[in-house]
Amino acid sequence: MDMIVPNLNQSETSSQLLTAAHPRKTILMQLDPNDLLLFARVVSEGSFSKAAQRLAVPKSTLSRRLSTLENQLGERLLLRTTRKLVVTDFGNHVLAHAQQVSEEVEATLALTQLRQSEPSGRLRVSMPADFANQTISSMIGRFLRKYPAISLEMDLSPRRVDIIGENFDLAIRMGTLPDDASLAARLLAVFSAALYAAPNYLEQYGEPQEPEALMEHKTLRLLGRSGDAAPWRLKSGEQSWEGVPPGIATANSPEMLRRLALDGLGIALLSEQFARCHLHDGSLIRVLPQWHSPEFNAWAVFPGRRLMPARTRVFIDELMRELEAAQQDGTCDTNK
């Protein structure tokens, strides 16, 4: 999720201040946002002298700019005494707007500095092992060579990590995401799965002509979170089918199911992305080619904070480029 820094322009600022303070006036005033920033700095420092020193500008210049702002607004913002500054009631109202402008400027500067700085530090990423091995292993090598100041730590276990509690920068997750206000997400890619089998399996057992015929075949099934084999959900146009065919093997690793299918042991429901290169070399054949699973999303999930660390941002950018290129040119990063 990209951070959006609100843009508060001069006319909007002027209009908001004028409407709140003088709702019946129709005088159009053009305020310099820099004067609002100077006013906020004077209040935060407590004196013109300290503010001038902090901003590296002459005290006389600062005083003149504030006087100009007061003249434009038509009311005093500060009451000056020999000992202290007192913010007027109207000044307190203007101060709220001035502080908002100051915060937005600081956020913009911080974002600019973040993008210009070299990404570095420890990057903790959680992702499915099969996704890492089958899809992006080459990309990870290129990433580490491109950003040598980043130390990458990858958790490839099947568990769903606590991103905030375990101090992860990023997690790659598939499917529907739970509603969690502490996290943000960016869509990486949309996948779908289909049925595949090796040529020698189909020569021995024949090719099913309809989904119901899968109940007579040997299948390789994915282990669900419940501990049981995940049902196969297929669709073709307006038609749909769901069932749990008899399995010769069940595993919580799509990579293992892919390898078993390549060995001719049965029919497997595999991501089209993972199986594409095997279609090209003929080691797998699409079964029931008019049928496929519903689409599912791949997400980059990260802490929902205001600014994303540069190391996280560049990793997501590289990952999105890799997935987009793989989907366009039909390549896959798989070792048989």
Res. 134 pLDDT band, cuts 50 70 90: confident
**pLDDT: is 206 or 32 the higher one?**
206
CATH 3.30.1330.40: does it fit domain 10-116? no
Distance CA 314, CA 300 (A): 12
Residue 250 pLDDT exceeds 90: yes
Reported as a pLDDT band with limits 50, 70 and 90, residue 114 is low
Cα separation, 60 vs 135, in Å, equals 63
- Domain 193-287 sits in CATH at 3.40.190.290
Reduced to 3 states (helix: H, G, I; strand: E, B; else coil), residue 303 is: strand
Task: Write down the pTM of the prediction.
Answer: 0.60
DSSP 119: P
Is 193-287 the same fold as 121-191+296-329?
yes
Pairing of strands 247-251, 183-191: unpaired
Quick one: 57 exposed, middle or buried, by C-beta within 10 A (0-12, 13-18, 19+)? middle
**By the 8 A CB rule, do 233 and 294 touch?**
yes
- The DSSP bridge pattern shows strands 267-271 and 232-236 to be unpaired
For 54-71, give the DSSP string: HHTS-HHHHHHHHHHHHH
Q: How far apart are CA 207 and CA 198, in angstroms?
A: 11
3-state SS, residue 40: helix
Give the distance, in angstroms, between the CA of residue 80 and the centroid of all CA atoms in the same chain: 49
d(CA 239, CA 203): 28
Q: Quote the CA–CA distance of 246 and 231 in Å, as a whole number.
A: 11
Quick one: 123 exposed, middle or buried, by C-beta within 10 A (0-12, 13-18, 19+)? buried
pLDDT value at 336 more than 50: no
AA identity, residue 240: S
**Joined tokens for residue 234:** 């297929």
Provide CB contacts within 8 A for 250, sequence distance 6+: 220, 221, 222, 223, 229
What CATH number matches the domain at 121-191+296-329, 3.20.20.150, 3.40.1160.10, 3.40.190.10, 3.40.640.10?
A: 3.40.190.10
Maximum average pLDDT range among 73-77, 204-208, 301-305: 204-208
State pLDDT tens for residues 275-296: 888 999 999 999 999 999 999 8
> Strand (E) positions, 143-295?
150-155, 170-174, 183-191, 193-197, 219-222, 232-236, 239-243, 247-251, 267-271, 285-287
SS3 of 155-197: the string is ECCCCCCCCCCCCCCEEEEECCCCCCCCEEEEEEEEECEEEEE
Among 146-150, 180-184, 219-223, which stretch is predicted with the lowest mean pLDDT? 180-184
Q: Would you tell me the crossing angle of helices 310-329 and 89-116 to the nearest 10 degrees?
A: 50
pLDDT at 5: 28
Domains in the chain: boundaries:
10-116, 121-191+296-329, 193-287
